[in-house]
Chain A
Amino acid sequence: MTTDELSLVFAALADPTRRAILERLARGDATVNQLAEPFAMSQQAVSKHIKVLEKARLVQRTRSAQSRPCALDAVRLDAAAGWIAEHRRVWADRYDRLDEHIAQLRGRDSG
């Protein structure tokens, strides 16, 4: 995945409606109509969101069926998720160790 491709993924995920669409698709494929239902949003508006998700290659649309159901394409999402989780772990760990270090400094002061 190139930097530009990842930027598309981040941009696509920046919108809560698009994240909700992905959550829905994680439970199974759905047509645009089905996706539009819970959002009180026009089919056209949902189609726009799906186009962004398709461009980021987070969603695939079947060409065979006339209803063209949407399906989650998780490869890029996983790559992004894996990296972010690891990155967060590094910072969490670093600040845990900072806390331990400070506790030691203070122990020394008071002792």
Chain B
Amino acid sequence: MTDTGELTYRRVHDAPPELLFDCMTTPAHLTRFWGPTGTTTPLDGIVVDLRPGGAFETTMVNDSDGSTYTMRAVYVEVERPHRLVWVEAESHGGMRTTVTFTALRDGRTEVVTHQTNVPAAFRSAAARAGFQTSLDRFAAYLKILDEGGTT
């Protein structure tokens, strides 16, 4: 973790890098998984202009109340199937997301999602969520740090 705040997520998926890269960059795939549980990401709300400088936009619709959240990003690097970088300049004050796809010997792929300039993204979320105090959450946070969630 640097002064600007970074978050890293590592996952191993049972698929080759090409398929994972295509899933992350094709609207017909994105609509199936992009929105977390409890949301849907309609196909007509997804914009993928897969080139540096091209738009990457998704609108997630909350299943329970119909509220929407639109992520507006611009691709910075597009290197199929190894690396994908986008920046959320408008909605998140510049949070940069880098996704790397590394083929493992057993045919699986390690996907590392690295986000920088995270505090900018925090501002609006913090305003929405309000502030709460508990030592339980402090402990949870230290656990996240120890597990390498922020490095």
Contact = CB atoms under 8 A, between A and B. Distances in A.
11 contacts: A19-B145, A23-B142, A75-B131, A75-B133, A78-B134, A81-B137, A85-B137, A93-B37, A95-B13, A95-B111, A101-B23
Given A7-B4, A86-B125, A102-B15, A94 B135 contact: no
A94 to B, nearest CB: 6
Interface stretch (A8-16, A29-37, A38-46, A62-70): A8-16
Nearest to A25: B138
B14 A6 contact: no
Contacts of A107: none
B141 A6 contact: no
Interface of A: 1-3, 6-7, 9-11, 13-14, 19, 22-23, 26, 72, 74-75, 77-95, 97-103, 105-106
Nearest to A6: B119
A100 B111 CA distance: 16
**Which range contains the number of B residues in contact with the other chain?**
35 or more
B144 interface: yes
Given A6-B122, A81-B140, 9 more contacts: A7-B4, A22-B142, A74-B135, A77-B138, A79-B122, A80-B122, A86-B125, A98-B20, A102-B23
A13 B1 contact: yes
A99 B13 contact: yes
Interface of B: 1-5, 7, 9, 11, 13-15, 19-20, 23-24, 29, 32-37, 93, 111, 113, 118-123, 125-126, 129, 131-135, 137-142, 144-145, 149-150
B1 A10 contact: yes
Contacts of B135: 26, 74
A72 B125 contact: no
B142 to A, nearest CB: 6
Contact of A78 (B113, B123, B138): B138
A14 B2 contact: yes
A60 to B, nearest CB: 13
Nearest to A58: B138
